[in-house]
Amino acid sequence: MDYYHIDAEHLGEEAKIPLVKLGQTGEVFYQIALDMIETIEETAKAGRPCTMIVPVGPVGQYPIFVRLVNERKISLKHVTFINMDEYLTDDKSYIEKEDRLSFRGFMKRTVYSQIAPDLVMPEEQRIFPDPDNLDRIPNYIAEHGVDLCIGGIGLTGHVAFNEPEDVS
């Protein structure tokens, strides 16, 4: 199948995973935020930890997510966020959180610091790829599983920095 030329009418046909077609960008961000909230509430009700793989791109869901968590007073104490990526310096260490490109800094400024302190998850449950411990995320996922994974598509069509094929 030619995945680069699927029209809207046929999008999702023969998909191996469920595909939901949404309208405008705001609707997409609201639905992502709701999916996050529903997953957190379901795992809390079941009395088990919740693990989500989350992007920094798209990011429009985060203000909605933060608002819903604070308004509904939803505890994130049982939730772990695994971020997909982070920029590194040339010597393979994290860039500073204050750098405008830092995903760790973005999540701290935009998500974690905006959630009521009594609701937000502990720092050890905010996981980023670690250049000094490449096995941390695969080991964590193998042990805990993943309840929700949100993937973003970048400006070039990449997913989590995996660039698309040149189709020209």
Query: To 10 degrees, the CA torsion angle through 91, 134, 144, 63?
Result: 20
Assess whether pLDDT exceeds 80 at residue 37.
yes
Instruction: Respond yes or no on whether the N-terminal peptide bond of residue 138 is cis (omega within 30° of 0).
Output: no
List, in order, residues 6 or more apart from 23 with CB less than 8 Å away: none
pLDDT band (50, 70, 90) for residue 4: low
| Rounded Cα distance, 159 and 113, in Å | 27
For residues 167 and 30, the model is more confident at 30
pLDDT band (50, 70, 90) for residue 162: low
Assess whether pLDDT exceeds 70 at residue 120.
yes
Phi first, then psi, for residue 46 (nearest 5°) are -80, -5
| Rounded Cα distance, 5 and 91, in Å | 40
